[in-house]
Amino acid sequence: MKILSLLLLLGCAAPPIETSPSSPDVKNVLIIITDDVGATQIEQTPTPVLDVLMKNGVTFTNAWSQPTCSPTRMSILSGKHPHQAGVGSDVGWFDTFSPDTDEQTLGKLVTAPAALIGKWHLSTKFADPGQGPIALGGMDFYSGNLNASLGQFNHTYDSWVKTVSFPGSTSSHQSTVYATTQTVDDAVDWIGNQDAAWLCVVAFNAPHKPWHNPPEDLVLDPQGPRTINQYREMLQALDLEVGRMLRGLPQPVLEQTLVIWVGDNGPPSEVTADPYIVPERGKGTVYQGGIHVPLVLAMMDTNQPGRTVDDPVMAIDLFQTALAALGASLPTGFDGQSLLPYLRNPGFRGRGWAYAEKFLPNGSGPYTEHQEAVVDREGYKLIRDKGTREQMYDLAVDPGETTNLLNTALRPGQIEALARLRDLLNGV
């Protein structure tokens, strides 16, 4: 693999040279979170920067998030399933529930400086929201939008409230810089001021509502004014700005950085795509349209880069992955696994299942609504609603979840799979 191939394909004019077996180990972690982006949206939108990361890393084709924004973000930060952390649905600005700031989150467990740039969506107005990324996330620095959407409170991507926080200090002001651009500007500035290992979570608002046509210079393939077209242009703009962020990393820093690109949940009904075309089975559900997301990990010493992995993995795995990459102690008793072995060993097989859930209200229960799902390595998936009603699908032949196997005569192998899936659900 060419040590500068990533930079070259992103538009850098530096000459290529070859890596040696003694390429530097990873010491930095960059987690890129895209908002409301499912796996199929990536397939239908030009994303040349993400394509480069895929060619230089490993793409996980069976990655699950949680069904909505806040639970996925809490899973990444805490390494816990939603019911373990109490966040099973979005944390609203006016909610009385707020996540427990005593959680041992990523920023608290790493010794390296840590920052979160962009969307937060884990604070309420009643719990010192500006300090949420510091007290809960354990971050040393935060800059971005605290709320669920840039469309809240009549804001737009061109006029929104930017909050800047570090321990003991919070300030906010109106920003008129295009939000996707501002997020990258702030990330590049913060990383540029680090002189040792670091963790940076860059959580874009895009392409979440409000949908719009981004600045023309950020769009490679103009789509037009329709909602789906605006969504795709916003994703193009995000991809292009990620390229600018990566080009802003000096060569030695990039060589020592693990880059993770993940979606926080699937898209809303207005922008669903084949095979997840049923609007009621997109964002906010545990159907594939709500939780099947893009996940790419890239680093310079990836063994056989450009591979795909079909093992089931999930958002909580990024917690263990970041800790392992930064040399932090891995907590025990968690279902998450580090994904680094997949990059270093093409034959590696991990846990073999993934889990997702949604519940209301947030907290420890009882829940008025609870959906959960589990999938195994063979592609069998079980959905359970309110602890009783079940649906079973064979994703290998029915990715759109059109045939509930529990309405058919199960074959012996399917009966065994059902028992296995029930055991997994009962044990999570």
Place of tokens 């805490």: 78
Place of tokens 């949420």: 132
- At which of 291, 320, 352 does a domain end? 352
Q: For residue range 43-83, what is the model confidence (pLDDT) as tens digits?
A: 889 999 999 999 999 999 999 999 999 999 999 999 999 99
- At which of 298, 332, 352 does a domain end? 352
Model pTM?
Answer: 0.94
Per-residue pLDDT, 140: 98
- Domain range enclosing 383: 358-427
Strands (E), 349-402: 353-360, 369-376, 380-385, 389-394
| 308 occurs within a structural domain | yes
Tell whether 364 and 342 lie within a shared domain.
no
CATH at residue 51: 3.40.720.10
Q: For residue range 271-322, what is the model confidence (pLDDT) as tens digits?
A: 988 888 888 899 999 999 999 999 999 999 899 999 999 999 999 999 999 9
Question: Domain count of the chain?
Answer: 2
Per-residue pLDDT, 298: 97
Residues 6+ apart with CB under 8 A from 33: 72, 73, 76, 118, 119, 201, 202, 203, 204, 262, 263, 264
Per-residue pLDDT, 20: 30
| 78 occurs within a structural domain | yes
Tell whether 345 and 409 lie within a shared domain.
no
| 319 occurs within a structural domain | yes
Which amino acid does the sequence have at 204? F
Other CB atoms within a 10 A radius of the CB of residue 125 amount to: 13
Angle ∠(203,207,209) on CA atoms, nearest 5? 110
| 243 occurs within a structural domain | yes
- At which of 352, 368, 399 does a domain end? 352
Tell whether 171 and 68 lie within a shared domain.
yes
Q: If residue 416 lies in a helix (H) or strand (E), which one and from where to where? A: helix 412-427
Q: For residue range 374-400, what is the model confidence (pLDDT) as tens digits?
A: 999 999 999 999 888 999 999 999 999
Tell whether 147 and 111 lie within a shared domain.
yes
Q: What percent of the chain has pLDDT over 90?
A: 80
| 51 occurs within a structural domain | yes
